[in-house]
Amino acid sequence: MLENKINAQSSAELAREEERISKQKVIAMFEQDMLADKKAGTIETLMFIHKTLFEDIYYFAGKIRTVNIAKGSFRFAPVMYLEQSLKTVEQMPQKTFDDIVAKYVEMNICHPFREGNGRATRIWLDHIFKSELKKVVDWSLIDKEDYLLAMERSPIRSTEINVLLKNALTEKTEDREVFMKGIDTSYYYEGYTAFDINDLR
């Protein structure tokens, strides 16, 4: 179990409280428009998102990881190359849909944080789409298994994640329901289903 600030006594308790607290933080991020003055596509903005979500839970919130991590047989960017990898991703173009998805895929390979990468990076991705294309992803339209399989394959072939994201784009960039459903879906992808975000006011 990860070291945490809330003195959770079990992984189940930690997961439940992490979901509750961080979803409340996401609500505040939306309602206070905290990303309005943040530059889209930067490491600094991703770190800000991560810190905002998890600063009351983890000591490492908003901090680049200092340990190597893997998921299944896939190893994310090694720590010794992580800083340079992040700089390279930050400098990638983001003017077109394909550019943005390619940048998202590379950031996922970097996996800059100990925990919470997927949830923070999907918000970061939407911030880029909103800034560059005046659109966001309606995540509730993307099936969990389709998404996870597409992301697993994306380092080698990004066609599937491109199709999923393109088909889920919407111009409802300020729509509260689209945003909140999207956050619940994003958490569902990672196995967090204890709380409906609309009940956490």
Encode pLDDT of 156-178 as tens digits: 999 999 999 999 999 999 999 99
User: What's this model's pTM, rounded to 2 decimal places?
Assistant: 0.97
Report pLDDT for 39: 98
In a domain, 155, yes or no: yes
How far apart are alpha carbons 94 and 39 in whole angstroms? 12
Q: Confidence band (pLDDT; 50, 70, 90) for 52? A: very high
pLDDT at 45 over 90: yes
Average pLDDT over residues 3-8: 94
Strands (E), the chain: 70-71, 74-75, 136-137, 169-170
Q: What is the CATH number of the domain that holds 158?
A: 1.10.3290.10
Domains contained in the chain, number: 1
Average pLDDT over residues 116-131: 98
Kindly tell me if the per-residue pLDDT of 71 is higher than 90: no
**Would 35 be classed as within a structural domain?**
yes
Would you state the structure tokens that stand for residue 22, as one six-digit string? Answer: 């961080």
Predicted confidence at residue 73, as pLDDT, reads 79
* pLDDT tier, 1 (very low <50, low <70, confident <90, very high otherwise): confident
Is 23 part of any domain? yes
Evaluate whether residue 197 is within a structural domain: no
Does 130 map to a domain? yes
Q: C-alpha dihedral over 51, 53, 57, 59, to 10 degrees?
A: -10
Residue 92: Cβ-neighbour burial (10 angstroms; 0-12, 13-18, 19+): middle
Average pLDDT score over the chain: 96
pLDDT exceeds cutoff 90 at 72: no
Band (pLDDT 50/70/90 cuts) for residue 201 is confident
Query: The domain containing residue 151 runs over which residues?
Result: 11-191
4 within a domain of the structure (yes/no):
no
Give the rounded percent of residues in the chain with a pLDDT score beyond 70.
Answer: 100
Task: Please give the sequence-ordered ranges of beta strands (E in DSSP) within 39-197, or none if there are none.
Answer: 70-71, 74-75, 136-137, 169-170
Per the domain annotation, does 112 fall within a domain? yes
Question: Does 1 map to a domain?
Answer: no
Contact status, residue 64 vs residue 78, Cβ threshold 8 Å: no
The pair of three-digit structure tokens given for residue 193, joined into one six-digit string: 């289903």
